Amino acid sequence: MKPKKLAVVGVTLIIVVAGIVAGTAFLIFPEYELSITTRDTDLLELGVKVPDTWEFEMSDDTTLSLSDLEGHVVLVDLMAIWCSSCAIQNGYLETVYDSLGDSLIIISLTVDSSETASMIANYKLEEDLAWAHGVDDGKFLYYFSISSIPSMVLIDANGYFRYFHVGLWSVESISSTVGLIQ
């Protein structure tokens, strides 16, 4: 057999064997599915309040202290301007903002350390997003060990971390979860 044909046959064989191994693994371990997975964690049992010192530089050149929002339910959207899933999540957040705006404060914070408040301001303007945007500068990123975006943290009116969600969060799920803690 010619060397080129032998190489093609070898690569094809490797791909077929890898496919068989992966397929067998999914049959043996069905809990690992090829789908978008999300993780919801109810944080109520931990009884952890938002640190009083957490402040964020916002896109409108103000500083937001989360302790000032006590008395309100707050949804913190951890995102980045380059994230395509975050852009999809923005559509869901627009619907939530329009329907629950009086009972829920939404704040989007970039977890990308290369993004500045002015970049976030431009993004907010270009995407025509109505809720507050700012820069996380590592607080949520490290506290929750964020490894995937979008991720969301729901804070109750008493200032306690209540839910942590990884991945896209549907309008229905956000609304029902907010309803549980109001």
Nearest CA to 100 among 131, 142, 143, 124? Answer: 131
Structure tokens at 18: 């890898």
Q: Are 105 and 74 in contact (CB under 8 A)?
A: yes
| pLDDT tens profile 100-154 | 978 899 999 999 999 999 999 999 999 999 999 999 999 999 999 899 999 999 9
**43 phi and psi, to 5 degrees?**
-95, 0
| pLDDT tens profile 56-89 | 999 999 999 999 999 999 999 999 999 999 999 9
Strand duo 161-166 + 39-42: pairing: antiparallel
